[in-house]
Amino acid sequence: MRESKIVSRKFGHKESHTLQVARKHGGYSAIDAAFALEATEIIDIIKVSGLRGKGGGGAPVGNKWALMPQDHDGPSYLAVNADESEPGTFKDRQIMAKDPHLLIEGIIITCYAIGAHDAYIYIRGEYYQFQQILQKAIDEAYAEGIIGEKVMGHDYRLDITIHRGAGAYICGEKSALLESMEGKRGHPRLKPQQKEPEWYFGNPTLVNNVETIATVPFIVKKGAKAYRLYGTDSSPGTLLFGLSGHVNRPGIYEAEFGVSMLEYIEQYGGGVKGGKRLKAVIPGGASTPVLTAQEASCVRLDYEDLRVMGSTLGTGGMIVMDEDTCMVSALKNLLEFYHHESCGQCTPCREGTGWVDGIVESLLKGEGTEEDVDRLLDVSQTMNGKTICVFAPAVSGVIDSFVTKFRGEFEAYLKGAR
Amino acid sequence: MSDITITVDGKELTVPRDELLIKILNKNNFAIPQFCYHDALGMDGNCRMCMVEIEGQKRPQIACNTFPKEGMEVRTRG
């Protein structure tokens, strides 16, 4: 596996979060290159690079940028999604803690490309410590004239404001995020019939993940081709994959798309803890269908290959489980989370997450029946594809994968069988 | 605005283009459950009870957030 560091390039340096160190290692060198181009040219470069959204969806970023009207009568906005609340995912945190100036650099270029003069960073409330680091970096950038009335001497005003979330998982959904930023309850909005940008107080707004924005400076500086040198044809570039759970060295390690999952776990994670055997891997944050050890051993880490396996890459935060893990308890743990975090707007999700949580709890107590296992699948079917946002379909995918792939363990908990 | 033709459960209907599907279904006596939609309040779209199948759409759609299209085929009974 070759080393491929695009976003995490400066992470290893001492005091890497300060402007001085960032500048010494090439920070903000993409700004002049960006301002030498037209806004639409930058969007074209991003399109050619094939950059895909790194917050979990994996949608082409260039197309999303192109939806932003260049001639809107009124302000446009950029909202950076730093509400990283997916269990098992902690990559944005690393960027904000280790290289906040890379994020600011990306924000400047993105804002210029879409014609926005105000950027908001929606950071989850629990990230107080990282918000402090980020705010310090923003203050440094203001003091040095990097942002403010003039961006590094160019005739372009840009202000960056941090908005702290109040602890709701669903506010990571882009329309719920904007609702929350508007001061309302964080409920996802109904999806529009045709493709259009998001709206913040009636003005077009681009919502992108922290890592996506942090990748932009590299592409603008080095060109789309340089980015395409990494990864596969349809999933170009790199991702800050993460490892947690039963591995020897959990953490965030950047790798290019298309590397083998098992090889990644072995090389960066140092293998499964205690020399035990692998049982299952949740590939990309808790909301993606689980893979068995056998599936994990032959899958490559890119969007297409995981789709073939019936799962999704998500955010790339892998949760590794060893042979002693009880899958029923693991599912219960996840369902408790979903039950708590369902925003309650759509009935199938609000009721369904509670029901499945209850069913699995009764299974764990030994009070379940054969029908309960099937009922899990039935409720999951009712939740899938019938709600406003993708929360319920994600939960449905998790339940289906756990129950169908590890049915034996669920049945072992049935009354009398244990 | 000109009227268009849609099919609901095999029955052909001529309907105005700018009327919500749920209103059309209610007017034409198709029993469709609904909690959060009311004529006077408009659509809200979160009880998810008024879901109908539309030919060519992968997932069921809520009738209270759908406008009719020429030639649309709607099924209200599974």
- The CATH number assigned to the domain holding B15 equals 3.10.20.740
Indicate yes or no: CB of A386 within 8 angstroms of CB of B60. yes
Residue B58's contacts (CB-CB under 8 Å, 6 or more residues apart) are: A385
Q: How many CB atoms lie within 10 A of CB A140?
A: 19
Residue A215 DSSP label? H
A80 and A205 Cβ atoms separated by less than 8 Å: no
What is the average pLDDT across A226-254? 94
Lowest mean pLDDT among A6-20, A133-147, A234-248, B34-48: B34-48
Q: Give the separation between CA B54 and CA B45, rounded to whole angstroms.
A: 17
Q: State yes or no: pLDDT of A265 exceeds 70.
A: yes
What is the average pLDDT across A233-240? 94
- A221: amino acid identity, one letter: K
β-strand B3-8 against B11-16: which pairing, if any?
Answer: antiparallel
Q: Give the separation between CA A190 and CA A166, rounded to whole angstroms.
A: 22
pLDDT tens-digit map of B19-66: 999 999 999 999 999 999 998 988 888 899 999 999 998 889 999 999
Q: Which residues of B touch A352 (CB under 8 A)?
A: none
Domain count of the fold of chain B: 1
pLDDT score recorded for residue A2: 83
Domains in chain A: ranges and CATH:
19-228 (3.40.50.11540), 238-316 (3.10.20.600), 327-412 (1.20.1440.230)
Residue A298's contacts (CB-CB under 8 Å, 6 or more residues apart) are: none
Range of the domain at B17: 3-75
Q: State yes or no: pLDDT of A417 exceeds 70.
A: no
Residue listed under structure tokens 């260049």 = A70
Mean pLDDT of chain A: 94
Instruction: Give contacts of B 18-77 with A, CB under 8 A.
Output: 35, 45-49, 51, 58-60, 65, 67
Q: Which residues of A touch B78 (CB under 8 A)?
A: none
Q: Give the separation between CA A148 and CA A45, rounded to whole angstroms.
A: 26
**A393 touches B at CB < 8 Å:** no
pLDDT tens-digit map of A124-183: 999 999 999 999 999 999 999 999 999 999 999 999 999 999 989 999 999 999 999 999
* Helix (H/G/I), strand (E/B), else coil: A328: helix
Residue A368's contacts (CB-CB under 8 Å, 6 or more residues apart) are: A359, A362, A413, A414, A415
Nearest Cα neighbor of A217 from A3, A22, A412, A414 is A22
Indicate yes or no: CB of B45 within 8 angstroms of CB of A388. yes
A318 and A332 Cβ atoms separated by less than 8 Å: no
Q: Which two tokens stand for residue A409?
A: 């363990």
Q: Give the separation between CA A105 and CA A214, rounded to whole angstroms.
A: 8
- What ipTM, to 2 d.p.? 0.87
Q: Give the separation between CA A87 and CA A245, rounded to whole angstroms.
A: 11
β-strand B11-16 against B51-54: which pairing, if any?
Answer: unpaired
What is the average pLDDT across A307-325? 94
Q: Give the separation between CA B74 and CA B61, rounded to whole angstroms.
A: 10
Q: Give the residue from chain A lying closest to B52, CA to CA.
A: A386
Element (H, E) at A155: none
Q: Give the residue from chain B lying closest to A388, CA to CA.
A: B46
B67 and B49 Cβ atoms separated by less than 8 Å: no
Query: Which residues share a beta bridge with A322?
Result: A278
Q: State yes or no: pLDDT of A292 exceeds 90.
A: yes
pLDDT score recorded for residue A262: 94
A30 and A105 Cβ atoms separated by less than 8 Å: yes
Residue A403's contacts (CB-CB under 8 Å, 6 or more residues apart) are: A331, A373, A376, A377, A380, A410
pLDDT band at A70, cuts 50/70/90? confident
Q: Which two tokens stand for residue A366?
A: 């030994």
pLDDT score recorded for residue B46: 87
Phi, psi (rounded to 5 degrees) for A353: -60, -35
Residue A275's contacts (CB-CB under 8 Å, 6 or more residues apart) are: none
Q: Which residues of A touch B59 (CB under 8 A)?
A: 385-386
**A347 touches B at CB < 8 Å:** yes
Q: Give the separation between CA A296 and CA A342, rounded to whole angstroms.
A: 29
